[in-house]
A and B are shown apart, each in its own frame.
Chain A
Amino acid sequence: DAKTTQPPSMDCAEGRAANLPCNHSTISGNEYVYWYRQIHSQGPQYIIHGLKNNETNEMASLIITEDRKSSTLILPHATLRDTAVYYCIVRPDYGQNFVFGPGTRLSVLP
């Protein structure tokens, strides 16, 4: 079973920042936090990952709390095309597969 907890759904206004929370209170020291998303019924798409430091790439920022028990994915300027299900996943650095939970369904509203 997935080791993360996410709200089932969220709304965000277009152009505003979308902040998606994730709880992973049982995360182990060798486990990374990953974010993927799935637009409609397409294949999941990698967004970002981190261990303990905050990370940023062209798609998003990842903020991990100091105790690593929770994190937040930030889409700085959400667009309609960001409407998707967002998955927060923890996985050890030697892991092969990803265990997807139900994720958060983000709706970006015009």
Chain B
Amino acid sequence: EPEVTQTPSHQVTQMGQEVILRCVPISNHLYFYWYRQILGQKVEFLVSFYNNEISEKSEIFDDQFSVERPDGSNFTLKIRSTKLEDSAMYFCASSDGPGANEQFFGPGTRLTVL
């Protein structure tokens, strides 16, 4: 069964450093998403991406965040200068259409900012 994969599974970084979280969506999907979940809190939407453009973003997704599809398979989330409060589990998801009923989530990357 096709699945979304994410690397690394755990990333530790120093405050102020840049990090790039990587995702490989399901191959025939065209819509991509990032969500995050701070430990013990709700899953929060960050951004959706289609046709090489951001289609929707939340207020969490400020100028420190960016997304990119650098090639035909990867989808990345970059945090330019990490803060302690960026520590969270970051989930990538993909779907085969806009407003698709099912978004397929990856296993997540745990980001720890020290």
Interface residues of A (CB under 8 A from B): 2, 32, 34, 38, 41-46, 49, 87, 92-102
Contact = CB atoms under 8 A, between A and B. Distances in A.
B4 A43 contact: yes
A101 B42 contact: yes
Interface stretch (B11-19, B62-70, B76-84, B93-101): B93-101
Contact of A93 (B48, B99, B103): B99
Contact of A96 (B55, B102, B104): B55
Chain B interface size, as a band, is: 20 to 34
Interface of B: 4, 31, 33, 35, 37, 42-45, 48, 55-56, 58, 89, 91, 93, 98-99, 101-108, 110
Nearest to A46: B102
Contacts of B37: 41
Contacts of B48: 96-97
A96 B108 contact: no
Contacts of A43: 4, 91, 93, 105-108
Contacts of B45: 97-99
A94 B101 contact: no
A74 B48 CA distance: 31
A86 to B, nearest CB: 13
B14 to A, nearest CB: 23
A41 B44 CA distance: 14
Contacts of B89: 41
B91 to A, nearest CB: 5
A14 to B, nearest CB: 26
Contacts of B102: 46
A44 B95 CA distance: 13
